[in-house]
Amino acid sequence: MGPEPTVDVQRCIGCGACAILAPAVFAVVQRVRITRPPGTAAERAAVAAAALVCPTGAIGVGRG
Ligand code: SF4
């Protein structure tokens, strides 16, 4: 499975970038929420990309 992402809702500005990159994991309705943990290597890579592009650094990807 790997580490599960986290989101800091207070930092989210609702830009939607994470949901575009990883739509299975992130949903944005005004602000982001996690719908489920990433289940595949491709989804984990997409979550990592989302964390990199998030303009406010709201997405955390745990180490492990
Ligand atoms: S990329 Fe960051 S700021 Fe944009 S919706 Fe996702 S968590 Fe919020």
Domains of the chain: 5-56 (3.30.70.20)
User: pTM of the prediction?
Assistant: 0.84
Q: Categorize the per-residue pLDDT at 41 as very low, low, confident or very high, splitting at 50, 70 and 90.
A: very high
Nearest CA to ligand 1 atom 2: 54
Q: How high is the pLDDT of residue 63?
A: 64
Q: What is the mean predicted confidence (pLDDT) over 35-57?
A: 97
Residue-wise DSSP of 11-53 = T-----HHHHH-TTTEEEESEEEE-S---SHHHHHHHHHHHHH
Nearest ligand 1 atom, CA 53: 1
Nearest CA to ligand 1 atom 3: 12
Å from CA of 1 to ligand 1 middle? 23
